Chains A and B, each alone.
Chain A
Amino acid sequence: MNRDEVIPILYEMALTIGGESSVGPLLTRTLQRLLYYTSFPAGFICLDLPAPTAVDAEILTARLDAAVGDYQLIRHVGEQLALPRRLLLGPAAKADGQTELLSGMPATQGRYHAFLRLPIGKLGVIILMAPRMPETELPLTLMFEPIMAHLARAVLLCRNNDQYASQLIADKQRADTRAEFLALHDALTGLPNRGLLLDRIQQAMAMATHSGQYGALMTLNIDHFKQLNDYYGYEACDNMLVETARRLETCIREGDTVARFGGDEFMLLIWPLPATQNEAAIQAEQIAQKIQQGLTPPYRLNGRELSASFSIGISLFRAHLDTLETLLRNAETSVYQAKIAGRNTIRFFDPELQSVIMTRLELEADLLRAMPLKEFLLYYQVQADDQGHITGAEVLIRWRHPRRGLVSPAVFIPLAEETGAIVEIGDWVMQMACETLRGWQQHPRMRQLQLAVNVSAVQFHQPDFTDKVCRLMARYGDIAGLLKLELTESVMLDSAEQVIQKIQILKNLGLRFSLDDFGTGYSSLAYLKRLPLDQLKIDQSFVRDITSDPSAAVIIQTIIGMAQNLGLEVIAEGLETKEQLALLMRYGCRHYQGYLLSKPLPIDAFETLFEQGALSLSLKQALI
């Protein structure tokens, strides 16, 4: 061996290996320098060779950790490859004429016939390949032994370094993520902080500029928080703040933001809200109520239960009409007003809105008391046919408020629907109608009269609606055919199949169905055809305009024609003049309801009217 030829190569290889700090480049550069020095054109490295599974296994599955010089092989770096065991395992060796063995290499297509194998300690192996053995007088298998031992240690060091570096990178990423989070979030509760909330308010304002929708900023303080701190200690109160944060998160809608501004001050961005101020205020107030309810259950502090109360201030905003500073100041002021008002209170910044909300809240509370206080009354409005015969009546509810007097159904029915009171009210109306019908069964002349009862969509979609009606029918005997349920087109917004199924069940009992306010909502003709209805009720707005608005007249004609095609009866409501009546008759409408026939009457007055046959003579003549 010529020492002067060997040592320079080993020297350079050792320096190459020592110059790398990461496994990938270490293997690639080592391979590259070996190819450079030996004139083998290609080579690869496998680390962590598996032990052969069977003594006679010819193939080992090993990961290709590096490859240089063979493009096809390079494409498989990082993959597990099936490689000839006799090539990979064994001491350092070089051999020519190994066509058969090397043809077992994937992707190399028999290009190589000679190889040099250099084990990297027990860690892996380097294989250099050539079409034929490069000439050399140097003992390649022996001379690289110290380099391979050096490489084995270098691989371990580089692996540790890679692991350490990737750990450092991961730690830094975690730290960056945490820092980023902390920059925008409250460290105690994890809620967005002031900065993030202000950013979101500005985004909401920007969007509101285009949409015209309102938003609300709510400020929420824990009442007497300082005293709680003094009494329970900071740690316990910190826990309370965290618990409050979690509860608040469950009360808001998706897209709303709850933030902590510090201390016991929470701020909630509620966006979007409706585009009209009153509706926005009502919805914001409902969310505030939900929050208040969510915070009602007692907290457990230091093993004791604490019922805390909260003051909530609400400030509505829209677009950039208000500055951010003004909005924040208003929200702060409103919560201050809530505290002044006696704490555990919700207050709007705008006094007018506060008044709207207060009125609504009072009415809501009165409505809930109206039923037990028997403040509801039923009125009956005549329905007659074109022969002048009274065929029945529509049952109409009125609320006689002890202070306000008669409250319009247009006011209290939507409120009852929002609060759910409509279900109880509707049940009561239906029961009263049944009572009336049963009473009329005792009078031969009245036993054919029908009663129409309005059923709210909220009531209709109650899961037990059909059960309730079935029970009523069972209880009141053979009156089902005289009870007509008036639905509005809004029931159709729900699942068609369920609506049809419910109607069908009740029709099987003999009940009749009328579609109320027809023409004002959305009614698909295809859908209408599938609904098992008996009657269409032309909305009073068309009837009112029939003599003055040609389009109203056309709509009525269309409705009548459509009803005839579908085999449905048509009734016109809101009939007030003889001219209207004349046109309706000409268009083919045969049933009517309205002040021209009679205003809604208490039951006694209705019965008297019927008994006396008191439809005016001229009207009767007109009808006939």
Chain B
Amino acid sequence: MRIVCPFCGERELGEFTYLGDAKPVRPAADAGEDAVYDYVYLRDNIAGVMSENWYHGGGCRAWLKVTRNTLTHEISAVEPAAGAGAAKVGA
């Protein structure tokens, strides 16, 4: 598999590490135990198009959001995580 890193260009799979579903958002500090439980444990395992977290650890160290079809491995979009390459944006 090859992933087009928005910073580095197309690279081979070995440079990347997979984490999992990129959809769940870490709950706010006061969200309560159920919300955190949901975030930590209740994950979808989609047969089809999925948004995933990938880390370009063997390259530029950017975390990426990769839209991938888990059945065909077709990658339709790759975008940087909110905090990757974000120095042009104010804190």
* Binding partners A and B: no
B residues apposed to A, CB below 8 Å: none
